Chain A
Amino acid sequence: MVKSLLCCLVGCIGISGIIGCSETIRHTFMKNDVNPKGRIAVIIAETKFPDLNKIFADKVESELSKSTTFEVIPQDIIMQKIKDYPERIKGPYKSAGMSAIRKYELTDVDTLNKISAKLKADYLYVVWIPIGTIESAGAGDGKLIYMDTIVQLFEFPTKREIAHAKYIIAWNQGHVIGGYHSPEESCAAYSKAIVSDIAKQTKSQIVQK
């Protein structure tokens, strides 16, 4: 009896651990001396997964507006001001089909500088999602989707790299217990963690009264 109760308890803890996953994102900050009231834009710089890029950029943008003191430039304004946005911009990685080897110095900062000038932005949070992986999971049609995401936060016109990070946005499809069940749900959780880290590191949190 005790044994079965214990098994049940361990199982419940395990499942709740998976279901209630809250993300933690740590950017590597090279500089922290940013203007917390500066103008910031989220820039999509890889066009391979257009739907996911749009969801992700919208969620990060809305979280930045809600939780930080930055002045956020919305995606529709970016589209108006930057012809053919979003387009591929040379990113901080060497892609080899199924893997991306990070090399932060490869980024085309000059193109980003031109974009920031057109947007009158002080900061660009630039997002590259170059690789997606699908794995079978659970019973039958269950799938786990992993999207490799590389980001860099730049300051302009100084062209200073403020921070960078790599994380994996993941969600499930089909019959899989726990985790996130849609890209929207996953991007919402990740964007909270992303913005929380940026806000903390740049001292741009909105203080709740």
Chain B
Amino acid sequence: MKKMISVRILLPFVFCSIMVGCFSTQPAPIYFPANQGYHLTAHKRIAVITGTNDDVDITLANKMMERLVKSGAFIVVSQEELSKKIPKYPLNFHLIDRNDINIIDKSETYLPEDVQKKAELIAAKLRVDYLLIVWSINEMSCTVRDYVVVRLPVATRMIEYPSKDIVGYSRIQYSNARLAFPISEPSEEQIDDLYNITSTGITNEILRNANIEVKIEEKKGDRKPW
């Protein structure tokens, strides 16, 4: 009897602890080389820039920049240098028009000609070998039912210079979930966690593409191709 009670008491906790943890991970490609067999060259100069002045995009770009700096695999242009060399960067900087670029039927490496020209000017100013542009396909969204689920669909383009070739891209949605009790809105911690999962996931894949061994532990999150 005693055993029965303890199992009854414990069962909901066991169930909750399983469900509170992020949903099971379905491995999905995060960063694709545009051509099979292409590899980034480590120790070259790279800049990570935001595609729009949306705070979500700025945060993602900054976090990815930090991770690349930490890896030591590339010479990464600093935030200070970006602000100094790109007018109004990042708060009043616009490169990507989401309405134009996010259309699903366009090629995954699509980048409008005017954006490519602007990117080329930026790359020349920064004297980089690679320019990584990051933006959220749609704004971060949230649904609340039994769980508070936050979703962050992200796109990237990696451009190589001086060839101007788009050598890599991402098109992926990350999400994480937690029980909608006692608070039915995402906490700052949940949102920060999603930023970290997303930025780590993409940068780790970039490092792997550059044949750099990734030692940093990847946090689990749900990710699906967008």
The answer to whether the Cβ of B56 comes within 8 Å of any Cβ in the partner chain is yes
Which listed residue (B56, B91, B92, B185) contacts A97, Cβ 8 A? B56
Cβ contact within 8 Å between B56 and A90 = no
Cβ contact within 8 Å between A87 and B88 = yes
Cβ contact within 8 Å between B191 and A96 = yes
Given A88-B53, A101-B188, the answer on whether A96 and B140 have CB atoms closer than 8 Å is yes
Given A87-B92, A88-B92, A89-B91, the answer on whether A97 and B140 have CB atoms closer than 8 Å is yes
Q: How far is the CA of A101 from the CA of B136 in the complex (A)?
A: 19
Chain B residues 174-217 with CB under 8 Å of chain A are 185-186, 188, 191
What is the 8 Å Cβ interface bit string for chain B, positions 46-80, against chain A (1 contact, 0 not)?
00000001111000000000000000000000000
Q: How far is the CA of A96 from the CA of B186 in the complex (A)?
A: 9
Closest Cβ of chain B: how far from A103's Cβ, in Å?
Answer: 10
Cβ contact within 8 Å between A97 and B188 = no
Q: How far is the CA of A101 from the CA of B188 in the complex (A)?
A: 8
Cβ contact within 8 Å between B186 and A99 = yes
Cβ contact within 8 Å between B91 and A96 = no
What is the 8 Å Cβ interface bit string for chain B, positions 118-154, against chain A (1 contact, 0 not)?
0000000000000000001001111000000010100
The answer to whether the Cβ of A54 comes within 8 Å of any Cβ in the partner chain is no
Which listed residue (A90, A98, A101) contacts B141, Cβ 8 A? A98
Q: How far is the CA of A200 from the CA of B152 in the complex (A)?
A: 44
Closest Cβ of chain B: how far from A23's Cβ, in Å?
Answer: 24
Cβ contact within 8 Å between A95 and B185 = no
Number of A-B contacts (CB under 8 A): 40
Q: Using Cβ atoms and an 8 Å threshold, which residues of chain A touch B185?
A: 99
Question: Which secondary structure characterizes the binding site on chain A?
Answer: loop
How many B residues, CB 8 Å from partner?
18
How many A residues, CB 8 Å from partner?
14
Cβ contact within 8 Å between A95 and B92 = no
Q: How far is the CA of A94 from the CA of B190 in the complex (A)?
A: 13
Q: How far is the CA of A47 from the CA of B88 in the complex (A)?
A: 14
Cβ contact within 8 Å between B139 and A98 = yes
Q: How far is the CA of A94 from the CA of B58 in the complex (A)?
A: 12
Closest Cβ of chain A: how far from B165's Cβ, in Å?
Answer: 32
Cβ contact within 8 Å between A95 and B55 = yes
Q: Using Cβ atoms and an 8 Å threshold, which residues of chain A touch B140?
A: 96-98
Cβ contact within 8 Å between B56 and A95 = yes
What is the 8 Å Cβ interface bit string for chain A, positions 41-75, against chain B (1 contact, 0 not)?
00000010000000000000000000000000000
What is the 8 Å Cβ interface bit string for chain A, positions 144-178, against chain B (1 contact, 0 not)?
00000000000000000000000000000000000
Closest to B195 in A: A96
Q: Using Cβ atoms and an 8 Å threshold, which residues of chain A touch B91?
A: 87-90
Closest to B88 in A: A87
Closest to B187 in A: A101
Closest Cβ of chain B: how far from A165's Cβ, in Å?
Answer: 20
Closest to B91 in A: A88
Q: How far is the CA of A155 from the CA of B222 in the complex (A)?
A: 47
Q: Using Cβ atoms and an 8 Å threshold, which residues of chain A touch B55?
A: 94-96, 130
Q: How far is the CA of A114 from the CA of B91 in the complex (A)?
A: 17
Closest to A86 in B: B92
Q: Using Cβ atoms and an 8 Å threshold, which residues of chain B touch A87?
A: 88, 91-92
**Contacts A/B (CB < 8 Å), 19 sampled:** A47-B92, A87-B92, A88-B92, A89-B91, A95-B55, A95-B56, A96-B55, A96-B56, A96-B186, A97-B56, A97-B136, A97-B140, A97-B142, A97-B152, A98-B140, A98-B141, A98-B142, A99-B185, A101-B188
Known pairs A98-B141, A99-B191 / 10 extra A-B pairs, C-beta < 8 Å: A87-B88, A88-B53, A88-B92, A95-B55, A96-B150, A96-B191, A97-B152, A98-B142, A99-B186, A101-B188
For the complex of A and B, the 9 pairs showing the least CB-CB separation, nearest first, are A97-B140, A95-B55, A96-B191, A88-B91, A97-B139, A87-B92, A98-B142, A97-B56, A88-B92
B residues with CB within 8 A of A: 53-56, 88, 91-92, 136, 139-142, 150, 152, 185-186, 188, 191
